[in-house]
Amino acid sequence: MQALILAAGMGRRLGKHTKGQTKCMVKVNGKTLIEHSLDALKDAGITKVVMVIGYEGEKLREFINERYSDINIKYVVNDSYYRTNNIYSLWLAREQLTDEDTILLESDLIYDAEILKNIIADPDDNLAVVAKYESWMDGTVTVLNEEGSIINFIPKSAFKWHKRDNYYKTVNIYKFSKEFSTNCYVPFLEAYIKALGENEYYEQVLRVMTYIDNINLKAYRLTDEKWYEIDDIQDLDIAEALFADSESELGLYQRRYGGYWRFPKLKDFCYLVNPYFPNEEMLNELKSNFDVLISEYPSGLNVQNLLASKMFGCDTSEILVGNGAAELIRGLMKSIDGEIGVIFPTFNEYPESAGYDRVKQFIPSNPDFKYDVEELKEFAQGVKALLLINPDNPSGHFLKEAEVKELLDYLKEQNIYLIYDESFVDFAGEDCRYSLIDSELLQQYKNLIVIKSISKSYGVPGIRLGVLASGNENIIKKVRSEISIWNINSFGEYFLQIIGKYQGAYLKGCNKIAAERDRFFNELSKIDYLRVIPSKANYFLCEVTGKFTARELTQVLLNKYRVFIKDCSGKIAFENKQYIRIAVRDFADNNFILEKLKELGSLE
């Protein structure tokens, strides 16, 4: 068995990374792509390699020969790399392809070495490695029959989105027998080039072959194996996270702050969202209006505020819509002078927006980070504003409505603002759910400023919506001056327009997550190395009491199971303490992490 690697391309889309070097010389986490492939081939027992080189080919040859003297490498040169595509590179190596059984692969891939071992050991002589189609993929896809044979290759130009559930993406790794290459593929390759030229792709030949006869090419379907094709800088960025070593992987994911749909096998228990809303009916309505929403400008801020006032039942002058709560928090912190009282641990957006130099800290003196109204009254003395996140983030601690109104009365007397974040209050449960976005309250308490993240509570973080409500005209005016007139896109506006029809479904979803949270709490409490703190939100703060540190547990869940939780190490109030935060997802996902946590508990 030999390998044939196509490595002639220029990789223009990688910009500065391929200036003066071919694409496979690009490094992923300090190691070039060609080293990744050659090491994987050696690990699979392949020591004979044919490599087609072109752009900066001599540099590549010199680099490889210095490092891989134990591999027999034969080079084929494509001098026309700048005007041809990979079909021509493969045609130049057609004689070598027919010498013996061959693993054919492209040089811009990074992949688990186990893939090569598995296809070599597979009893089928001719295989194409494929992966179930996912939204991040691009390029040729295949269609399989019930026996797992490939019956069609679909190029990008013929891709049909409504058929995507039937597609498998080609990984660009193949196993061809000598007989298949000699009697089938190479004759078709030569005919195709003569008919259609050299600026094509070798998979087009396979596509033509499927039209003519059963080519006896089976699919090797990947499951959990990792791979990525690196065509541009975004691919490189994703690949570095996907193939990071165990020590650096966590940091790379943490610094992304979202976008985890690009890693579909990752289960995100870090970022907080509602798994039971929007419902299917609302999603279908949004989808049906996609063409209009993406092609039309949104309304300005006045209209967005009008829609939000309708949604929350307050006056238009009392509410502002933001691009997520974060935009409003930053605007608010600029609008309030003086010291801000913050209960730690907290959502860092608030102290970071205010500036830590004007934040007064209160850290509850108990391991559950609980506090009562009397403690907050005492703490608030001398500050300009007090921040209360209720339920608190990350502790999940909750103050009832009567307690908050008692605090409001006190702060009003002291001329202190209450910044009240109720982003998670809808999850508190049907018996204790309440909102302070109410015109009567807002007018009674001019010191009240309410923040609510619609993205988190309504399960639409991709739309980016939040609101700020206050009866204080001066605050509204100041915060509004910090916001662009077109800060909300058309999808966000349409959500605000139609949400009224779905409020009943939303409340049912909130009740479901409250019930699932309580079940999850009971099961999570059985993990003997976690102390789970009761919560009224859609997350749990857990103290790691043994076996692991908080960082170790976060790392092993990510490295071993592709589960991402929040490591609270480094947050104010957690210094030298071992706390994590685990989001509440749906029943199946919660059971998945429970299973993995129990499995870790049983390991020596």
Encode pLDDT of 377-431 as tens digits: 999 999 999 999 999 999 999 999 999 999 999 999 999 999 999 999 999 999 9
Encode pLDDT of 299-327 as tens digits: 999 999 999 999 999 999 999 999 999 99
Q: Considering the chain, what is the average pLDDT of its residues? A: 94
User: pLDDT band for position 264 (50/70/90)?
Assistant: confident
pLDDT(554) > 70: yes
pLDDT at position 467: 98
Contacts of the segment 60-68: beta carbons below 8 A, 24+ positions apart: 60/7, 60/21, 60/22, 60/24, 60/25, 60/34, 63/25, 63/32, 63/34, 64/34, 64/38, 67/35, 68/38
Encode pLDDT of 329-339 as tens digits: 999 999 999 99
pLDDT(67) > 70: yes
When pLDDT is averaged across residues 145-174 and rounded to a whole number, the result is 91
pLDDT at position 256: 87
Domains of the chain, first to last: 2-239 (3.90.550.10), 250-275+509-602 (3.90.1150.10), 280-505 (3.40.640.10)
pLDDT at position 181: 95
d(CA 127, CA 130): 9
When pLDDT is averaged across residues 558-564 and rounded to a whole number, the result is 95
* Cα atoms found within 13 Å of the Cα of residue 558, Cβ hemisphere only: 30
Encode pLDDT of 102-113 as tens digits: 999 999 999 999
pLDDT(8) > 70: yes
Strand-pair partners of 419: 387, 449
When pLDDT is averaged across residues 546-563 and rounded to a whole number, the result is 94
Contacts of 591 (CB under 8 A, 6+ apart): none
pLDDT at position 194: 92
pLDDT(214) > 80: no
Percent of the chain with pLDDT over 70: 100
* Alpha-carbon 536 to chain mean position: 26
When pLDDT is averaged across residues 164-189 and rounded to a whole number, the result is 95
Indicate the residue type of 22. T
| Lookup: tokens for 413 | 């007397």
When pLDDT is averaged across residues 32-45 and rounded to a whole number, the result is 96
d(CA 253, CA 257): 7
pLDDT at position 551: 95
Please give the helix or strand (H or E) that residue 342 lies within, else none: strand 340-343
When pLDDT is averaged across residues 145-169 and rounded to a whole number, the result is 90
